[in-house]
Amino acid sequence: MKASFANKVVLVTGASRGIGRAVALAFAREGAQLVLAARSVEVLAQVEKEVRDLGSEVLSVPTDVTSHGAVTALVDAAMNRFGRIDVLVNNAGIGKVGGIESAAFEDDVHQTLRASLFGMINVTQRVLPILRQQRSGTIVNMSSVMGRKAFSRFGSYAIVMHAVSAFSDSLRQEAADSDIQVSVIHPALTATDLLREAEEAEMPPPFRHMTPLSSEDVARAVTKAVRCGKRRVVLPRTANMLLLGEALSPRIGDFIATALTQRPIAGLLGMSRGKTYHETILSNPSR
Ligand SMILES: NC(=O)c1ccc[n+]([C@@H]2O[C@H](COP(=O)([O-])OP(=O)(O)OC[C@H]3O[C@@H](n4cnc5c(N)ncnc54)[C@H](OP(=O)(O)O)[C@@H]3O)[C@@H](O)[C@H]2O)c1
């Protein structure tokens, strides 16, 4: 077993399922001690057991990241148990699908901001002083490809993911004087429960045939980002072509986004290689 994170204390939010669960298990396989946070008590306890079965010390603390009191209790519990925090993975979040003209749009933005951005700010503000005192540590923030290029019908999510990217950029520069590393991860569509409630027809056209990443793909990118001190990771790498096009001109970005609606072009970029998001999700139990 690789033990790159032996005795390192890793706090993962949104650890009850999906990417957060995979991240927790990936760090556990590399020898880390884990602190797990999410709201669902029973599911979190199952992940705690999975981590313990891998031989790692683990503490799970049911937490709503939007609550200042709950986050203070989480960080206090982590410090009482382990005495330090080496890595914080700010992963908890939600996502909604719907056009800007839909009646729910404004509410979707508020809800997503609250969980995915203000939750992240809340946890970061409580952990950062500890990392500063240690003069070491890493904060990983989960954004999305949509934190750099929005798609139609994902406006509320993309607004918040752009905000997460900007928050990470400011944080990285503010924390640099304390040797604190900040990484931001931008995964493309991933096979988790995030969009399970959305009908396939509601998704923007390219997403209807895209093959999702697995949570394990994203977890590997997270552990590598921490190990190698990467500031920003986009996955799959081919998504960088879209982001480069967008950086040059929104016309080019939109052209590539539209081209991705053609399955062969998405296939050429490695984004349509097999089962779609809905085919993958429907063949997997909720997790
Ligand atoms: N799936 C994708 O396509 C994709 C792509 C790029 C980026 N991401 C990002 O990856 C992150 C994880 O998403 P996922 O895809 O793994 O979705 P998921 O399977 O729905 O998991 C979301 C996690 O966040 C937790 N969570 C949500 N609200 C919370 C709150 N207020 N307090 C504490 N925990 C909360 C959930 O646990 P409880 O419900 O138990 O609280 C769950 O553990 C999100 O930030 C998402 O934006 C996802």
Assign residue 153 the CATH number of its domain.
3.40.50.720
Domain for residue 47, yes or no?
A: yes
Distance 169 CA to ligand 1 centre (A): 21
Domain that holds residue 36: 9-282
Give the number of residues written for the chain.
287
Per the structure, how many domains does the chain have? 1
- C-alpha distances in Å from residue 160, one per residue of 113, 217, 275, 287: 6, 23, 28, 24
b/e 114-149 (16+ beta carbons within 10 angstroms → b): ebbbebbebbbebbbebbeeeeebbbbbbbbbbbbb
The rounded distance, in Å, linking the Cα atoms of 28 and 38 is 17
Atom of ligand 1 nearest to the CA of 196: 20
In a domain, 4, yes or no: no
Give 14 Cα–ligand 1 centroid separation in angstroms.
5
Tens of pLDDT, residue by residue, the chain (287 residues): 557 899 999 999 999 999 999 999 999 999 999 999 999 999 999 999 999 999 999 999 999 999 999 999 999 999 999 999 999 999 999 999 999 999 999 999 999 999 999 999 999 999 999 999 999 999 999 999 999 999 999 999 999 999 999 999 999 999 999 899 999 999 999 999 998 888 888 888 888 888 999 999 999 999 999 999 999 999 999 999 999 999 999 999 999 999 988 888 888 888 888 888 988 988 876 55
Name the 3-class secondary structure at 125: helix
Positions annotated as catalytic residues are: 157
3 is a domain residue: no
- Domain assignment of residue 26, yes or no: yes
Assess if residue 287 is contained within a domain: no
Q: Residue of the nearest CA to atom 18 in ligand 1?
A: 194
Is there a domain that residue 2 lies in?
Answer: no
Per DSSP, the three-state class of 284 is coil
Residue 1 resides in a domain: no
